[in-house]
Structure 1
Amino acid sequence: MKKMLFSTRPFFVDTALLVLRVGVAIMMITHGWSKIVNFSETMESFPDPLGIGVALSLQLTIFAEFFCAILLGLGFMTRLALVPLIIAMLTAAFMVHAGDPFSDKELSLLYLLSFIFLFLRGPGLYSMDGQILKKKRY
């Protein structure tokens, strides 16, 4: 029991990375999916923090929150998929909700921390990237 609680063996690290990666990906996909399903209604109230137009801002957000989150969940091209997600959460926290209370920024900051952690640590062995790299080593 003691070994299991205090172990830093790769199994536990890779399992934790899998749980975090898939968990935040599923939650992010729900945000993107709701924007896809309600595209017209969402476009009426969606902010344009970068000054590139509401439609393009919404499309880029959907790309990050839905399509990049799918890649994150699969662990395929993980670090590349995380870049748009990190940019989206930085924009949400520090531009869209810049003047809002902390409680309105909190969710985007939690996602941002998770995405930065996964970017720095990588997807782990239990990912498509991990399996591709594992096969190339031999």
Structure 2
Amino acid sequence: MKRLFFSTSQFLPGIGLALLRIGAALMMLTHGWAKIANFSNNLTTFRDPIGLGPAVSLQLAIFAEFFCAILLALGFLTRLSLVPMIITMAVAAFIAHADDPFATKEKSLLFLLIFIVLLFLGPGRYSVDAQIKKGRNY
């Protein structure tokens, strides 16, 4: 039990970071997939929070929530893929749901917090990025 709570090994933090990265990515992926599956319906009902038109806004949300989420789950181009996800969650929380009660924007704020933390911490040792870096001498 002491090993678990007082370990200085990089194994447990690496596993924790992988769980956070993969879990958040898979949950975000479900939001992106729902937008893809109902694309034609969403074209007529999707909000235009930043003035680019509903179609462009929907496509940007799908890019962030589905395609960038796949990259995040793999830990490939992690920090680069987090930028659109952070922007999307910030727009959702502070623009699209600005007038909504906190309970409505809470999910996007939680995703935003997770994505910002992952941006600072990076993908961790159990990621494609780490495997690529291992093969190079930096």
Output one character per residue of 1:38-76: Cα deviation in whole Å (capped at 9) or x when no partner: 001112211101100000000000000000000000000
* Match in the other structure for 1:136: 136
Q: Separation in 1 of the partners of 2:19 and 2:6?
A: 18
Partner of 1:17: 17
Match of 1:98 in 2: 98
Cα deviation, residue 92, structure 1: 0.1
Read off the aligned partner of 2:70 and give its amino acid letter. I
Unpaired runs of at least 5, structure 1: none
Identity %: 60
Match of 1:5 in 2: 5
RMSD between superposed Cα atoms in Å: 1.1
Q: For structure 2, which runs of at least 5 residues remain unmatched after alignment?
A: none
Distance 2:8 2:19 in 1: 16
CA–CA distance in 1 between the matches of 2:101 and 2:68? 28
- Whether 1:50 and 2:45 are equivalent positions in the alignment is no
d(CA) in 2 for partners of 1:35, 1:64: 11
Q: TM-score w.r.t. structure 1 length?
A: 0.97
Cα distance in 1, alignment partners of residues 8 and 102 from structure 2: 34
Match of 2:30 in 1: 30
Instruction: Name the aligned partner's letter for residue 76 of structure 2.
Output: F
Residue 122 of structure 1 deviates from its aligned partner by 0.3
1:135 CA drift (Å):
1.6
Alignment match, 1:39:
39
State the Cα distance separating 1:25 from its structure 2 match: 0.5
> Would you say 1:63 and 2:63 are equivalent positions?
yes
Count, aligned residues: 138
1:77 corresponds in structure 2 to 77
For residue 116 of structure 1, give the secondary structure of its aligned residue in structure 2. helix
Give the TM-score, by structure 2 length. Answer: 0.97
- Structure 1 segments of 4+ aligned residues over 3 angstroms from their partners: none
Tell me whether 28-37 or 7-16 shows the greater mean CA deviation.
Answer: 7-16
